[in-house]
Chain A
Amino acid sequence: MTAKLQLIGVKKRLRGRQVLDGVDLDVAPGKSLVVIGGSGVGKSVTLKCALGLMRPDDGQVMCDGQDVTRLTGRAREPVMRKFGMLFQGGALFDSLSVWENIAFR
């Protein structure tokens, strides 16, 4: 079965420090995966690489079997519609009203 989300050998270096060093993970459709670790071990960086908010230095991010590592702009939009993200601090748009936050797209 094709993994819903797959990271293959993802590497990311930030400010001279190797944060991700060849991360591999598969998330099958309908399954949950929990990533646990101490502060600064790269949990958020892994998520940001998966979402395309950061571009990995090396490796691949696959979504439904499609390589989405280098997709940008309009080409990325259909992929992003498959994702939902709850940020640690909420990340509500504080300049918008409640209904505008809910209806935002």
Chain B
Amino acid sequence: MNPFAAIGRATIAFFSEIGRFSAFTARATAACFAPPIFLGQLGRQCAQIGYFSLPVIGLTAVFIGAALALNIFVGGARFNAEQFVPNIVVLGITRELGPVLAGLMLSGRVSAGIAAEIGTMRVTEQIDAMSTLSTDPFRFLVAPRVIAATLCLPILVLVADIIGVMGGYLVATESLGFNGATYLRNTANFLEPQDVILGLVKAAVFGFIIANMGAYQGYNSKGGALGVGRAATNAVVGATVLILAVNYLITAFFVE
């Protein structure tokens, strides 16, 4: 076997995949702005992606906030900076951990779900049937999911920010001896609007990535149950990697 041919094939396959994904993303984005918007589908997806994700987001946020407070207290004690626990907790949660962890949790819950749902429709010819009935699958299936995830994730992250800060507050006041009123005052005084805005911008972008990746993998799935399973796995892996890469880019853009 010629190793150069194998490398060439892999490289072409890689760039073909990027090309296909870019074309799908462009078509999905165009479908989000082109009427008709299927409001029933949009409402259903908002409930599915937003409302039903609240428990998992809340639980993640409260434990991360609590663990963050403990770690910052231990680290800060090494140079007598324990009093910075509220400041670093709120900064870490709003700018980084809130959106990234919400994105990662939802890439598992939502992206895989969308890939499995649309993938099943693909292998059972439901998407072909939709096309023969003159309904654009991008408008009916993809656009409502992408719009719902892009709108709902910032709201979920806002909730996660509040719950995460309260997780840190609980640990700080109950275990680390902080005064509750002082903790909250320090948090409020330290927090700046751009910290929250950065987190919400990230959340909206992550929401788009999660739904778009799930839809892409599902839409292009083939080969029955095995193919649907593979699509769900690829959706989670793809969304996770993209979220982490884009997170760095957005952070670098805002910092500069």
Contacts and interface: CB of A to CB of B under 8 A. Distances in A.
Interface of A: 48, 51-53, 73, 76-77, 80-81, 83-85, 87-89, 91-95, 104-105
Interface of A is mostly: loop
Contacts, number: 43
Interface of B is mostly: helix
Interface stretch (B127-135, B210-218, B240-248): B127-135
Interface string B120-131: 010011101111
A85 to B, nearest CB: 5
Nearest to B128: A53
Contacts of A53: 128, 131-132
Contacts of B125: 87-89, 91
A91 B134 contact: no
Contacts of B121: 93
Nearest to A93: B126
Given A80-B134, A104-B135, A105-B134, A85 B129 contact: yes
A80 B133 contact: yes
Contacts of A88: 125
Q: Which of B126, B130, B132, B134 has the most C-beta atoms of chain A within 10 angstroms of its own C-beta?
A: B132
Contacts of A89: 124-125
Interface of B: 117, 121, 124-126, 128-136
A73 B128 CA distance: 14
Contacts of A83: 132
A102 B238 CA distance: 36
A53 B129 CA distance: 9
A91 B124 contact: yes
A77 B134 contact: yes
A105 B135 contact: yes
Closest 3 CB pairs of A and B: A91-B129, A91-B125, A80-B134
Contacts of B136: 73
A88 B133 CA distance: 16
Contacts of A92: 126
Nearest to B129: A91
Given A48-B128, A85-B129, 9 more contacts: A51-B132, A80-B131, A80-B133, A80-B134, A81-B134, A87-B129, A92-B126, A93-B126, A104-B133
Nearest to A81: B134
